[in-house]
Protein backbone atom coordinates (compact mmCIF):
# COMPACT_ATOMS: atom_id res chain seq x y z
CA UNK A 1 0.00 0.00 0.00
CA UNK A 2 1.64 3.25 -1.10
CA UNK A 3 0.70 6.49 0.53
CA UNK A 4 0.35 9.03 -2.27
CA UNK A 5 1.27 12.00 -0.14
CA UNK A 6 4.57 10.49 0.94
CA UNK A 7 7.27 10.27 -1.70
CA UNK A 8 10.28 8.62 -0.22
CA UNK A 9 12.54 6.13 -1.90
CA UNK A 10 11.95 2.55 -0.98
CA UNK A 11 14.63 0.87 1.07
CA UNK A 12 16.51 -2.16 -0.15
CA UNK A 13 17.38 -3.93 3.10
CA UNK A 14 16.01 -2.82 6.42
CA UNK A 15 13.00 -2.10 8.58
CA UNK A 16 9.99 0.15 8.26
CA UNK A 17 8.22 1.10 11.46
CA UNK A 18 4.69 2.24 10.76
CA UNK A 19 1.76 3.42 12.91
CA UNK A 20 3.76 5.41 15.39
CA UNK A 21 1.59 8.12 17.03
CA UNK A 22 2.90 11.33 15.51
CA UNK A 23 3.70 12.94 18.86
CA UNK A 24 5.87 9.95 19.82
CA UNK A 25 8.13 9.99 16.78
CA UNK A 26 11.14 11.51 18.47
CA UNK A 27 10.62 9.48 21.61
CA UNK A 28 10.77 6.34 19.47
CA UNK A 29 13.91 7.60 17.73
CA UNK A 30 15.43 8.23 21.13
CA UNK A 31 14.45 4.85 22.58
CA UNK A 32 15.88 2.99 19.59
CA UNK A 33 18.97 5.24 19.52
CA UNK A 34 18.48 5.78 15.82
CA UNK A 35 20.53 8.94 16.01
CA UNK A 36 23.61 6.76 16.50
CA UNK A 37 23.10 4.82 13.26
CA UNK A 38 25.17 5.59 10.22
CA UNK A 39 22.87 4.21 7.53
CA UNK A 40 20.11 6.13 5.75
CA UNK A 41 17.02 6.88 7.78
CA UNK A 42 13.91 8.58 6.45
CA UNK A 43 10.93 9.52 8.50
CA UNK A 44 7.66 11.25 7.92
CA UNK A 45 5.22 12.57 10.44
CA UNK A 46 1.70 13.98 10.75
CA UNK A 47 0.53 11.55 8.08
CA UNK A 48 -3.16 10.70 7.94
CA UNK A 49 -4.13 7.50 9.68
CA UNK A 50 -7.57 6.01 10.20
CA UNK A 51 -6.41 4.21 13.34
CA UNK A 52 -4.30 6.87 14.99
CA UNK A 53 -5.45 10.15 13.48
CA UNK A 54 -1.93 11.34 12.86
CA UNK A 55 0.87 8.87 12.48
CA UNK A 56 4.59 8.81 11.84
CA UNK A 57 6.62 6.35 9.84
CA UNK A 58 10.36 5.57 10.00
CA UNK A 59 12.31 3.78 7.27
CA UNK A 60 15.70 2.51 8.34
CA UNK A 61 18.15 1.18 5.81
CA UNK A 62 20.39 -1.67 6.85
CA UNK A 63 19.00 -2.24 10.33
CA UNK A 64 17.01 -5.13 11.72
CA UNK A 65 15.67 -5.23 15.25
CA UNK A 66 15.34 -8.21 17.53
CA UNK A 67 12.11 -8.43 19.55
CA UNK A 68 13.70 -7.30 22.81
CA UNK A 69 15.06 -4.17 21.12
CA UNK A 70 11.88 -3.22 19.31
CA UNK A 71 9.47 -4.01 22.14
CA UNK A 72 10.99 -1.11 24.05
CA UNK A 73 8.81 1.22 21.97
CA UNK A 74 5.62 -0.68 22.86
CA UNK A 75 4.93 1.66 25.76
CA UNK A 76 4.61 4.71 23.53
CA UNK A 77 3.67 3.09 20.23
CA UNK A 78 1.64 0.02 21.17
CA UNK A 79 0.15 -0.31 17.68
CA UNK A 80 3.41 0.01 15.79
CA UNK A 81 3.83 -2.36 12.86
CA UNK A 82 7.12 -3.49 11.42
CA UNK A 83 7.78 -4.33 7.82
CA UNK A 84 10.99 -6.27 7.31
CA UNK A 85 12.43 -5.50 3.91
CA UNK A 86 14.79 -7.68 1.87
CA UNK A 87 15.65 -6.79 -1.72
CA UNK A 88 13.00 -4.06 -1.85
CA UNK A 89 10.29 -6.54 -0.80
CA UNK A 90 8.38 -6.94 2.42
CA UNK A 91 9.41 -10.38 3.61
CA UNK A 92 7.88 -10.24 7.06
CA UNK A 93 5.38 -8.21 9.08
CA UNK A 94 5.58 -7.92 12.81
CA UNK A 95 3.82 -6.19 15.68
CA UNK A 96 5.31 -4.87 18.89
CA UNK A 97 4.46 -6.37 22.24
CA UNK A 98 4.67 -4.75 25.63
CA UNK A 99 7.38 -6.75 27.44
CA UNK A 100 7.04 -8.10 30.98
CA UNK A 101 9.87 -5.96 32.31
CA UNK A 102 10.77 -2.42 31.29
CA UNK A 103 14.31 -1.33 32.05
CA UNK A 104 15.60 2.21 31.82
CA UNK A 105 12.89 3.76 29.66
CA UNK A 106 10.23 5.11 31.96
CA UNK A 107 10.43 7.30 35.03
CA UNK A 108 8.85 6.21 38.31
CA UNK A 109 6.10 8.66 39.16
CA UNK A 110 6.76 8.35 42.90
CA UNK A 111 8.91 11.34 43.89
CA UNK A 112 10.02 9.39 46.96
CA UNK A 113 11.35 6.49 44.94
CA UNK A 114 15.08 5.77 45.17
CA UNK A 115 15.30 5.97 41.37
CA UNK A 116 14.53 9.66 41.62
CA UNK A 117 17.20 10.27 44.25
CA UNK A 118 20.22 8.19 43.33
CA UNK A 119 21.72 6.91 40.12
CA UNK A 120 19.58 3.82 39.75
CA UNK A 121 18.28 2.54 36.41
CA UNK A 122 14.52 2.25 36.58
CA UNK A 123 12.97 -1.17 36.36
CA UNK A 124 9.27 -1.97 36.11
CA UNK A 125 7.20 -5.12 36.07
CA UNK A 126 4.29 -4.69 33.70
CA UNK A 127 1.22 -5.77 35.60
CA UNK A 128 -1.36 -4.78 32.99
CA UNK A 129 -0.28 -4.70 29.36
CA UNK A 130 -3.53 -3.29 28.01
CA UNK A 131 -3.80 -0.46 30.50
CA UNK A 132 0.00 -0.07 30.62
CA UNK A 133 0.39 -0.27 34.38
CA UNK A 134 3.98 -0.47 35.56
CA UNK A 135 4.95 -1.59 39.04
CA UNK A 136 8.26 -0.16 40.14
CA UNK A 137 10.73 -2.88 41.10
CA UNK A 138 12.09 -0.66 43.84
CA UNK A 139 9.31 1.29 45.52
CA UNK A 140 6.52 -1.09 44.41
CA UNK A 141 4.25 1.78 43.43
CA UNK A 142 2.32 1.67 40.18
CA UNK A 143 2.90 4.20 37.41
CA UNK A 144 -0.04 4.27 35.04
CA UNK A 145 -0.38 5.44 31.44
CA UNK A 146 -1.58 8.86 32.53
CA UNK A 147 1.60 9.50 34.47
CA UNK A 148 3.95 7.69 32.16
CA UNK A 149 7.04 9.72 31.39
CA UNK A 150 9.78 8.49 29.12
CA UNK A 151 13.28 9.43 30.23
CA UNK B 1 16.59 -17.56 53.34
CA UNK B 2 20.31 -17.98 53.96
CA UNK B 3 22.37 -15.08 52.65
CA UNK B 4 19.31 -13.52 51.09
CA UNK B 5 18.18 -10.02 51.98
CA UNK B 6 14.75 -9.46 53.48
CA UNK B 7 13.36 -6.38 51.77
CA UNK B 8 9.65 -7.00 51.32
CA UNK B 9 7.20 -9.36 52.98
CA UNK B 10 6.58 -10.72 49.48
CA UNK B 11 10.18 -12.00 49.38
CA UNK B 12 9.14 -14.78 51.74
CA UNK B 13 6.69 -17.59 51.09
CA UNK B 14 4.09 -18.91 53.53
CA UNK B 15 6.50 -21.70 54.43
CA UNK B 16 9.21 -19.14 55.15
CA UNK B 17 6.91 -17.22 57.52
CA UNK B 18 6.16 -20.38 59.44
CA UNK B 19 9.85 -21.30 59.69
CA UNK B 20 10.60 -17.88 61.16
CA UNK B 21 7.68 -18.06 63.59
CA UNK B 22 8.71 -21.51 64.79
CA UNK B 23 12.29 -20.38 65.27
CA UNK B 24 11.12 -17.26 67.11
CA UNK B 25 9.18 -19.51 69.46
CA UNK B 26 12.40 -21.37 70.24
CA UNK B 27 14.20 -18.10 70.88
CA UNK B 28 11.44 -16.93 73.20
CA UNK B 29 12.16 -19.93 75.38
CA UNK B 30 15.89 -19.31 75.19
CA UNK B 31 16.74 -15.75 74.10
CA UNK B 32 20.23 -15.58 75.56
CA UNK B 33 22.72 -17.70 73.62
CA UNK B 34 26.24 -17.14 72.36
CA UNK B 35 25.63 -18.02 68.74
CA UNK B 36 26.38 -14.59 67.26
CA UNK B 37 29.77 -14.26 68.91
CA UNK B 38 32.21 -12.75 66.44
CA UNK B 39 29.47 -11.32 64.23
CA UNK B 40 29.06 -7.60 63.64
CA UNK B 41 25.62 -6.33 62.65
CA UNK B 42 25.28 -2.80 61.30
CA UNK B 43 22.13 -0.81 62.11
CA UNK B 44 21.82 2.14 59.75
CA UNK B 45 18.86 4.27 60.71
CA UNK B 46 18.44 7.27 58.44
CA UNK B 47 15.02 7.89 60.02
CA UNK B 48 13.86 7.88 63.65
CA UNK B 49 12.97 4.67 65.46
CA UNK B 50 12.70 3.43 69.01
CA UNK B 51 11.29 -0.03 68.90
CA UNK B 52 12.72 -1.37 65.68
CA UNK B 53 16.25 -0.23 66.27
CA UNK B 54 16.43 -1.14 69.94
CA UNK B 55 14.75 -4.49 69.47
CA UNK B 56 17.24 -5.37 66.71
CA UNK B 57 20.07 -4.27 68.95
CA UNK B 58 18.68 -6.21 71.90
CA UNK B 59 18.21 -9.25 69.68
CA UNK B 60 21.83 -9.17 68.57
CA UNK B 61 23.29 -8.33 71.98
CA UNK B 62 21.46 -11.19 73.67
CA UNK B 63 22.98 -13.60 71.16
CA UNK B 64 26.52 -12.37 71.76
CA UNK B 65 26.88 -10.28 68.62
CA UNK B 66 28.04 -6.69 68.30
CA UNK B 67 26.32 -3.64 66.81
CA UNK B 68 27.80 -0.76 64.84
CA UNK B 69 25.99 1.95 62.95
CA UNK B 70 24.22 5.25 63.22
CA UNK B 71 20.87 6.31 64.51
CA UNK B 72 20.64 9.52 62.53
CA UNK B 73 21.96 10.30 59.08
CA UNK B 74 23.22 13.60 60.44
CA UNK B 75 26.05 11.87 62.27
CA UNK B 76 27.39 10.18 59.15
CA UNK B 77 28.97 11.28 55.91
CA UNK B 78 25.51 11.34 54.38
CA UNK B 79 25.65 14.85 55.82
CA UNK B 80 28.50 15.56 53.39
CA UNK B 81 26.43 14.37 50.47
CA UNK B 82 27.63 10.77 50.31
CA UNK B 83 25.31 8.59 48.28
CA UNK B 84 23.38 5.67 49.69
CA UNK B 85 25.32 3.36 47.40
CA UNK B 86 28.68 4.46 48.77
CA UNK B 87 27.41 4.32 52.32
CA UNK B 88 26.20 0.74 51.91
CA UNK B 89 29.35 -0.43 50.15
CA UNK B 90 31.46 1.13 52.88
CA UNK B 91 29.50 -0.28 55.81
CA UNK B 92 29.38 -3.72 54.20
CA UNK B 93 33.15 -3.82 54.67
CA UNK B 94 32.70 -3.61 58.40
CA UNK B 95 29.75 -5.89 59.03
CA UNK B 96 28.16 -9.26 58.33
CA UNK B 97 24.63 -7.96 57.89
CA UNK B 98 23.05 -4.54 57.53
CA UNK B 99 19.72 -3.54 59.06
CA UNK B 100 18.52 -0.32 57.50
CA UNK B 101 15.67 2.14 57.83
CA UNK B 102 15.51 4.89 55.22
CA UNK B 103 12.86 7.47 54.27
CA UNK B 104 13.12 6.82 50.53
CA UNK B 105 11.03 4.00 49.08
CA UNK B 106 12.95 1.33 47.25
CA UNK B 107 16.14 2.19 49.13
CA UNK B 108 16.35 -1.24 50.74
CA UNK B 109 15.74 -3.06 47.45
CA UNK B 110 18.50 -1.00 45.84
CA UNK B 111 20.81 -1.62 48.77
CA UNK B 112 20.18 -5.37 48.54
CA UNK B 113 21.24 -5.32 44.89
CA UNK B 114 24.56 -3.64 45.50
CA UNK B 115 25.54 -4.87 48.93
CA UNK B 116 27.88 -7.83 49.37
CA UNK B 117 26.23 -8.59 52.72
CA UNK B 118 22.52 -9.26 53.30
CA UNK B 119 20.20 -6.33 53.94
CA UNK B 120 17.28 -6.43 56.34
CA UNK B 121 14.76 -3.70 55.60
CA UNK B 122 13.67 -2.01 58.82
CA UNK B 123 11.35 0.29 56.91
CA UNK B 124 11.71 2.10 53.60
CA UNK B 125 9.46 5.14 53.55
CA UNK B 126 5.82 4.19 53.21
CA UNK B 127 6.68 0.96 51.42
CA UNK B 128 7.73 -2.14 53.39
CA UNK B 129 8.52 -3.11 56.99
CA UNK B 130 8.74 -6.89 56.77
CA UNK B 131 10.13 -7.60 60.23
CA UNK B 132 7.17 -5.76 61.77
CA UNK B 133 4.86 -7.95 59.75
CA UNK B 134 6.57 -11.09 60.99
CA UNK B 135 6.39 -10.04 64.61
CA UNK B 136 2.73 -9.21 64.10
CA UNK B 137 2.14 -12.70 62.73
CA UNK B 138 4.01 -14.14 65.69
CA UNK B 139 1.88 -12.14 68.12
CA UNK B 140 -1.32 -13.22 66.41
CA UNK B 141 -0.34 -16.87 66.44
CA UNK B 142 0.81 -16.70 70.02
CA UNK B 143 -2.39 -15.12 71.32
CA UNK B 144 -4.84 -17.02 69.13
CA UNK B 145 -3.06 -20.35 69.03
CA UNK B 146 -3.27 -20.36 65.22
CA UNK B 147 -3.23 -18.14 62.14
CA UNK B 148 -6.09 -19.73 60.19
CA UNK B 149 -9.68 -18.51 59.91
CA UNK B 150 -9.36 -15.46 62.11
CA UNK B 151 -11.41 -12.28 62.14
CA UNK B 152 -9.05 -9.35 61.87
CA UNK B 153 -10.19 -5.75 62.39
CA UNK B 154 -7.83 -3.11 61.02
CA UNK B 155 -8.41 0.41 62.25
CA UNK B 156 -7.11 3.87 61.41
CA UNK B 157 -4.87 4.77 58.52
CA UNK B 158 -5.48 1.99 56.04
CA UNK B 159 -4.47 4.06 53.05
CA UNK B 160 -0.90 4.95 53.94
CA UNK B 161 -0.18 2.43 56.70
CA UNK B 162 2.55 0.11 55.53
CA UNK B 163 2.03 -2.23 58.48
CA UNK B 164 -1.60 -2.93 57.61
CA UNK B 165 -0.75 -3.48 53.95
CA UNK B 166 1.97 -5.99 54.78
CA UNK B 167 -0.15 -7.73 57.41
CA UNK B 168 -3.00 -7.98 54.94
CA UNK B 169 -0.75 -9.64 52.37
CA UNK B 170 0.76 -12.07 54.86
CA UNK B 171 -2.51 -13.00 56.62
CA UNK B 172 -4.26 -13.54 53.29
CA UNK B 173 -2.41 -16.88 53.13
CA UNK B 174 -4.42 -18.09 56.13
CA UNK B 175 -8.06 -17.62 55.13
CA UNK B 176 -9.01 -14.65 57.31
CA UNK B 177 -12.04 -12.37 57.38
CA UNK B 178 -11.12 -8.71 57.40
CA UNK B 179 -13.01 -5.76 58.82
CA UNK B 180 -11.60 -2.43 57.69
CA UNK B 181 -12.52 0.51 59.91
CA UNK B 182 -11.33 3.90 58.78
CA UNK B 183 -12.42 7.38 57.76
CA UNK B 184 -13.42 7.75 54.11
CA UNK B 185 -10.18 9.55 53.26
CA UNK B 186 -8.05 6.73 54.64
CA UNK B 187 -9.77 3.67 53.22
CA UNK B 188 -7.87 0.54 52.24
CA UNK B 189 -6.68 1.13 48.66
CA UNK B 190 -8.45 -0.60 45.79
CA UNK B 191 -5.33 -2.46 44.76
CA UNK B 192 -5.37 -4.45 48.01
CA UNK B 193 -9.11 -5.06 47.96
CA UNK B 194 -8.65 -6.33 44.44
CA UNK B 195 -6.06 -8.84 45.62
CA UNK B 196 -8.42 -10.05 48.36
CA UNK B 197 -11.24 -10.44 45.84
CA UNK B 198 -9.00 -12.52 43.62
CA UNK B 199 -8.09 -14.77 46.53
CA UNK B 200 -11.73 -15.12 47.58
CA UNK B 201 -11.13 -13.51 50.96
CA UNK B 202 -14.06 -11.73 52.60
CA UNK B 203 -13.66 -8.18 53.79
CA UNK B 204 -16.07 -5.54 55.08
CA UNK B 205 -15.60 -1.82 55.30
CA UNK B 206 -16.91 0.40 58.10
CA UNK B 207 -16.54 3.99 59.13
CA UNK B 208 -17.87 3.46 62.64
CA UNK B 209 -15.29 2.17 65.13
CA UNK B 210 -17.80 0.29 67.28
CA UNK B 211 -19.27 -1.76 64.44
CA UNK B 212 -16.99 -4.73 63.91
CA UNK B 213 -15.25 -4.99 67.27
CA UNK B 214 -17.46 -7.72 68.81
CA UNK B 215 -16.54 -10.13 66.01
CA UNK B 216 -12.83 -9.56 66.06
CA UNK B 217 -10.15 -11.97 67.21
CA UNK B 218 -7.56 -9.26 66.63
CA UNK B 219 -8.02 -5.50 66.63
CA UNK B 220 -5.05 -3.96 64.86
CA UNK B 221 -4.89 -0.23 65.62
CA UNK B 222 -2.78 2.16 63.59
CA UNK B 223 -1.59 5.70 64.00
CA UNK B 224 -2.74 8.29 61.54
CA UNK B 225 0.74 9.33 60.44
CA UNK B 226 1.45 13.03 60.23
CA UNK B 227 4.67 12.50 58.31
CA UNK B 228 2.88 10.68 55.47
CA UNK B 229 0.56 13.61 54.81
CA UNK B 230 1.62 16.23 52.31
CA UNK B 231 -1.20 18.48 53.52
CA UNK B 232 -1.08 19.31 57.27
CA UNK B 233 -4.67 20.57 57.26
CA UNK B 234 -5.88 17.23 55.95
CA UNK B 235 -4.01 15.58 58.82
CA UNK B 236 -5.64 17.81 61.41
CA UNK B 237 -9.07 16.85 60.10
CA UNK B 238 -8.64 13.11 60.62
CA UNK B 239 -6.11 12.69 63.41
CA UNK B 240 -8.71 12.20 66.16
CA UNK B 241 -11.04 10.15 64.05
CA UNK B 242 -10.66 6.75 65.65
CA UNK B 243 -9.78 6.53 69.30
CA UNK B 244 -10.13 3.20 71.08
CA UNK B 245 -11.37 3.42 74.65
CA UNK B 246 -11.71 0.75 77.30
CA UNK B 247 -15.52 0.96 77.29
CA UNK B 248 -15.55 -0.09 73.63
CA UNK B 249 -13.99 -3.43 74.54
CA UNK B 250 -16.94 -4.56 76.68
CA UNK B 251 -18.59 -6.86 74.17
CA UNK B 252 -15.47 -8.22 72.59
CA UNK B 253 -14.44 -11.87 72.48
CA UNK B 254 -12.50 -13.39 75.37
CA UNK B 255 -9.59 -14.32 73.11
CA UNK B 256 -9.49 -10.93 71.40
CA UNK B 257 -6.29 -8.94 71.65
CA UNK B 258 -5.53 -5.33 70.75
CA UNK B 259 -2.39 -4.91 68.68
CA UNK B 260 -0.63 -1.71 67.58
CA UNK B 261 2.74 -1.38 65.87
CA UNK B 262 3.39 1.74 68.04
CA UNK B 263 4.23 4.52 68.62
CA UNK B 264 0.74 5.57 69.50
CA UNK B 265 -0.33 9.18 69.68
CA UNK B 266 -3.86 9.11 71.07
CA UNK B 267 -5.60 6.40 69.07
CA UNK B 268 -5.50 3.99 72.00
CA UNK B 269 -6.65 5.76 75.11
CA UNK B 270 -4.46 4.96 78.12
CA UNK B 271 -7.46 3.51 79.94
CA UNK B 272 -7.09 0.50 77.62
CA UNK B 273 -3.59 -0.25 78.92
CA UNK B 274 -4.80 -2.06 82.03
CA UNK B 275 -7.29 -4.19 80.14
CA UNK B 276 -5.91 -7.76 79.87
CA UNK B 277 -6.76 -7.70 76.18
CA UNK B 278 -4.23 -4.93 75.53
CA UNK B 279 -1.28 -6.68 73.91
CA UNK B 280 0.71 -3.93 72.23
CA UNK B 281 3.66 -3.80 74.61
CA UNK B 282 4.12 -7.55 74.62
CA UNK B 283 3.83 -7.32 70.86
CA UNK B 284 6.90 -5.09 70.87
CA UNK B 285 8.75 -7.64 73.01
CA UNK B 286 7.97 -10.33 70.45
CA UNK B 287 10.00 -8.20 68.08
CA UNK B 288 13.19 -9.31 69.81
CA UNK B 289 12.56 -13.03 69.28
CA UNK B 290 11.31 -12.59 65.75
CA UNK B 291 14.34 -10.55 64.81
CA UNK B 292 16.64 -13.08 66.44
CA UNK B 293 15.02 -15.68 64.20
CA UNK B 294 15.38 -13.55 61.07
CA UNK B 295 19.02 -12.66 61.66
CA UNK B 296 20.15 -16.18 62.51
CA UNK B 297 18.26 -17.61 59.53
CA UNK B 298 19.82 -15.13 57.12
CA UNK B 299 23.30 -15.65 58.52
CA UNK B 300 22.80 -19.39 58.14
CA UNK B 301 23.31 -20.08 61.83
CA UNK B 302 19.88 -21.63 62.34
Answer yes or no: are the C-beta atoms of B261 and B132 closer than 8 Å: yes
Interface contact A135, partner B, CB < 8 A: no
DSSP-derived secondary structure for B144-176: HS-STT-EEEEES-TTT-HHHHHHHHHHGGG--
**What is the pLDDT at residue B142?**
97
pLDDT at B228: 66
B159 a catalytic residue: no
3-state secondary structure of A7: coil
Distance CA A135, CA A141 (A): 6
What DSSP letter does each residue of B218-279 carry, written as one string?
Answer: EEEE----GGG-S-HHHHHHHTTS--B-GGGGTTS-TT-EEE--S--SSSB-GGGTTSTTB-
With CB atoms and an 8 Å threshold, state whether B106 touches A142.
no
Q: How many CA atoms lie within 13 A of A9 on its CB side?
A: 6
Among candidates B83, B107, B127 on the partner chain, residue whose Cβ is nearest the Cβ of A140: B127
Q: Is A11 on the interface with B (CB under 8 A)?
A: no
For the cut 60, the answer to whether the pLDDT of residue A4 exceeds it is: no
pLDDT of A33 reads 93
Residue A5: pLDDT over 60: no
Task: Tell me the backbone φ, ψ of residue B171, rounded to 5 degrees.
Answer: -65, -25
* ipTM greater than 0.95: no
Any chain B CB within 8 A of the CB of A139?
yes
Residue (of B12, B22, B260) closest to B121 by Cα position:
B12
A52: left (phi over 0), alpha (psi -120 to 50) or beta: alpha
The yes-or-no answer on residue B52 being catalytic is yes
Could you tell me if B78 and B88 are in contact, meaning their C-beta atoms sit under 8 angstroms apart?
no
Where does CATH 3.30.70.140 sit in chain A? 14-95
Residue A136 contacts B, CB cutoff 8 Å: yes
Cβ neighbours of B47 in A, within 8 Å: none
Q: Would you state the pLDDT for residue A9?
A: 67
The verdict on a CB contact (< 8 Å) between A118 and B125 is no
Count the Cβ atoms, other than its own, within 10 Å of residue B237: 14
Cβ-defined contact of B105 to A120 (cutoff 8 Å): no
What does the pLDDT read at residue A10?
81
Q: What is the pLDDT of residue A150?
A: 87
Q: For chains A and B, what is the number of CB pairs under 8 angstroms? A: 50
Query: In this complex, do B191 and A142 lie within 8 Å of one another by their Cβ atoms?
Result: yes
Residue ranges matching CATH 2.30.30.20 in chain A: 101-147
CA distances (Å), origin B284, targets A70, B50, B84, B96: 52, 10, 29, 25
- Chain B residues bordering chain A (beta-carbon distance below 8 Å): 8, 83-85, 103-107, 109-110, 124-128, 191
CB–CB of B127 and A139 under 8 A? Answer: yes
Topology (CATH level 3) of domain A101-147: SH3 type barrels. (2.30.30)
By CA distance, what is B110's nearest residue in A?
A: A138
pTM for the full predicted model: 0.88
A52-111 confidence digits (pLDDT tens)? 889 999 999 999 999 988 999 998 998 999 999 999 999 999 999 999 999 998 999 999
Check residue A3 and give its pLDDT: 56
How close does chain A come to B272, measured CA to CA in Å? 36
Q: What is the pLDDT of residues A12-53, one digit of tens each?
A: 999 999 999 999 999 999 999 999 999 999 999 999 988 888
Q: What is the CA radius of gyration of chain B?
A: 19
Segments of chain B with pLDDT less than 70: 228-230
Query: Where does A14-95 sit in CATH, by number?
Result: 3.30.70.140
pLDDT of residue B81: 87
Select from A114, A118, A142 the Cβ nearest to the Cβ of B105. Answer: A114
Taking the mean position of all CA atoms in its chain, how far away is CA A23? 12
**Which domains does chain B carry?**
9-128+287-298 (3.40.50.1370), 131-284 (3.40.50.1370)
Burial string for A104-131 (b: 16+ CB within 10 Å, else e) reads: ebbbbbbebbbbbbeebebbbebeeeee
Amino acid sequence: MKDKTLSVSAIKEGTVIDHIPAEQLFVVISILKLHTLETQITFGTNLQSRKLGKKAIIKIEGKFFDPVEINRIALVAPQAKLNIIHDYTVTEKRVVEVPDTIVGIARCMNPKCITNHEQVTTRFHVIDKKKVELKCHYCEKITDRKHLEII
Amino acid sequence: MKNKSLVSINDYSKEDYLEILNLAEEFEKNPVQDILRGYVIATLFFEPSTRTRLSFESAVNKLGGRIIGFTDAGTSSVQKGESLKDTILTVANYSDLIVMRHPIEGSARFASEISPVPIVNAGDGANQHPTQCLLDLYSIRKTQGKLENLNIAMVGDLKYGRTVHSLLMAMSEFNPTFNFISPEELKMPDSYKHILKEKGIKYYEHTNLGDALPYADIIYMTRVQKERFSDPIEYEKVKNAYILRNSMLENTKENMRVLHPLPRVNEINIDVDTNPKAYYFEQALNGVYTRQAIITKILGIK
